[in-house]
Structure 1
């Protein structure tokens, strides 16, 4: 099972003064005056069972960059010869609707595109990977140019793939039921809405 998405507009911001690392009783110091060095999109696919990330940098997002990512995954083993490979995606414009399902199946008959519910992209495990990328690679977004951004993303991906373990996904349908019940208790009048939503 592959979880895939795009992280848009990663900017290269060349700071006018160097960022100072945190010290004893002192937070990191980041100068907020910078020159823009351009932006790129980071597209990634994450094998949720193997904890393996496939990433690529593109000038922008869209159908062609997304299909480039799919090609990168599906031309590697074990995905090429797998009976079925599920791609979990949100409803972003690069991979939305029936046409995206047909486009993927036409190119790779063993690839099956599955969309998360609208407004529920947080269910996609690639978002956990992107949160790690944001904390470990992008923040504080202090790069001289886009080549440095690409190099750091590639280096992080190599290191991540060498050491990562699958995420321990603990949120279940019973957990969702408990969460909705707690919300109902806090907000009178919501109980009927939640009951109708669950019944539908």
Structure 2
């Protein structure tokens, strides 16, 4: 099988600065840090195999992030949108349920000493916070 040469990577000065912040920042998520390190290694003309060995990533992972950067630049390092069911509750609804959960049930008139997930779901529906909800949804 013929060896396909890796795509050349030449980040601009501003991209390189951003990549360094991502790769060496203490508050950067691990996955973004790894992606930035792959691109920085690639900018030094290192092979995919060498980058995989030095970063501890799989060779296919190195190929993926190097290729995405070559095609889409920094935007290619972000997670792609995933398929699946959209969220059932808005951020506002979630915060209202959390605020309700932080209050004692007796303050709301419920004859309980503490909230259970089913009771919290029922109370949220009774108050009109959510039109539907299950105990497991509230628990999550």
TM-score, normalised relative to structure 1: 0.21
Q: Which has the higher helix share?
A: 2
Instruction: Work out which structure has the larger RCO, using CA pairs closer than 8 Å and 6 or more positions apart in sequence.
Output: 1
Compute the TM-score of the two structures, normalised by the length of structure 2: 0.26
Richer in strand (by share): 1
